[in-house]
Amino acid sequence: MTLKVGLVGWGAIGRVVGSALAGGAVEGAELVCVVDNRALGTAPAPQLTFEEALECCDLIVEAAGQGVVREWAERILRSGTDLLIASTGALTDEELKKRLLSAGPGRVYFTSGAVGGLDLLQAVCRLGPLHDVRLTTTKLPSTLEQPWMDEALLARLRTATGPVEVLSGTARDIPVKFPKSTNVAASVALAVGDLDAVRVRVVADPGAHRTRHVIEAAGPHGSYRFEAAHLPDPVNPATSQVVPYAVLRSLGAIAGRTGQIL
């Protein structure tokens, strides 16, 4: 059977995912609708409301931000429709995460986004807990500016000539402060099963022509280090260019494409 896919969001991620689906890039899956709060004239599938999408989709792909996850994810799952989440930062809300993981009959999936190694971290955690997990994310200063920042911090970002630490904390704290830039922190926490166990540093660097994520983890069974350096998306530099292709890889696995690494 062909998986009928609805796409929420027609931005930097959604356009790539939707165009690839419409072009037949994911065997066993087809794009049947797009949901967006803006009028779209160029989408390769009908623009529907959420309610209409629930009537015709087997799976909905969220590519529109954490707010959509908070508002609609539980309802999608309760309708019996599966959900693939890109904005994992919404899952820093423990109560929301518990509700989504227990909701149904729809199933919830999370894409790995801009980092690798999460499958291995999940496997290691079955052996025993990791006692030291760290993530350092480095991006261009302009992509990290936030409304909560005071003038002193904004001035540091705008006049930086080298790397500047913007904020540090746990995976529970950081994605809330940078809702469009640090979903990776929440993804690492999902992999290890503990938001507070993941220490996160956000670094601004005017020389960061590639967005860099470094994951370091250690436990009684071994030590691990994963590093990724991606070109920023040309439309939305707050996200990496690879993210929509991670979504497409996840869709291929859900649709049952053979040859996938699971």
Confidence of residue 215 (pLDDT cuts 50, 70, 90): very high
pLDDT for the residue 180:
80
Closest CA to 78 of 110, 102, 109, 53: 102
- Angle, alpha carbons 122-125-131 (nearest 5°): 125
Place of tokens 């990776």: 184
- Mean of pLDDT values over 81-89: 94
Confidence of residue 51 (pLDDT cuts 50, 70, 90): very high
Q: What is the pTM of this model?
A: 0.91
Q: What is the pLDDT of residues 62-81, one digit of tens each?
A: 999 889 999 999 999 999 99
Q: Give me the CATH code for the 118-230 domain, please.
A: 3.30.360.10
- Has domain 3-113+242-255 been given CATH number 3.40.50.720? yes
* DSSP per position, 161-195: SS-EEEEEEETTTHHHHSTTT-HHHHHHHHHHT-G
Q: Is 213 a catalytic residue?
A: yes
Map out the domains of the chain as residue ranges.
Answer: 3-113+242-255, 118-230
Instruction: Pick the catalytic residue from 131, 209, 213, 221.
Output: 213
Contact criterion met (CB below 8 Å) for 247 and 61: yes
Residues facing 195 on adjacent strands: none
pLDDT for the residue 238:
82
Confidence of residue 185 (pLDDT cuts 50, 70, 90): very high
Q: What is the pLDDT of residues 7-45, one digit of tens each?
A: 999 998 999 999 999 999 999 999 999 999 888 878 899
Residue 177 has pLDDT above 80, yes or no: yes
pLDDT for the residue 71:
93
